[in-house]
Amino acid sequence: MDFEGGESDGVEPIEQASDNRLSVVVTSEDLGRTEVRRRLVENRMRVLFDQVEVEDTFSFFKKISGDGHRSYWEQVIPPVIGKFDLKPSAFLTKARAMRPEKPDATVSAFANWVYSLYGRPGEDDDALKRGLEAEKVIFEFCQNSHVGPKEAWTIASPLMLSRRPDGWKLVHQGIHLNDKHVPYFELEELTVRGEPLRASPDLLFRNSQTGHVLIVEIKLSRQSIPSNLWPNIWAQLWCYSQIPTVMQAPSVTVTGEVWAEGSLKPYRCSPSIPALYLRAMARRDPRDAAYDRFFRELFEIYRGG
Contact (CB, 8 A) for 206 and 213: yes
Strands 203-207 and 273-284 come out as: unpaired
Predicted local distance difference test score (pLDDT) of residue 280:
92
CA dist 107 and 246 (Å) reads 16
281 beta partners = 257
- Report the chain (305 residues): mean pLDDT per 10 consecutive residues: 43 45 74 72 84 86 71 79 91 96 95 89 53 53 46 57 84 72 89 95 93 92 90 96 97 93 68 80 95 97 89
Distance CA 228, CA 260 (A): 17
Distances 193 to 78, 197, 300, 301 between C-alpha atoms, Å? 41, 10, 12, 13
pLDDT value at residue 274: 72
Q: What is the pLDDT of residue 17?
A: 40
Instruction: State how far the alpha carbon of 282 is from the alpha carbons of 156, 257, 278, in Å.
Output: 21, 7, 12
SS3 231: helix
> What is residue 105's DSSP assignment?
S
- Phi and psi, residue 89, nearest 5°: -65, -40
Query: What pLDDT, on the 0 to 100 scale, is given for residue 114?
Result: 95
Domain that holds residue 162: 4-303
Q: Which H helix or E strand runs over 185?
A: strand 185-192
- Identify the helix (H) or strand (E) that includes residue 142: helix 123-144
Q: Which of 139, 164, 203, 151 is nearest to 31 (CA)?
A: 151
* Helices H / strands E in the chain, number of each: 9, 12
Q: What total of structural domains would you count in the chain? A: 1
Q: What is the pLDDT of residue 6?
A: 38
> Would you call 12 helix, strand, or coil by DSSP?
coil
CA 212/CA 250 separation, integer angstroms: 6
Rounded to two decimals, what is the model's pTM? 0.82
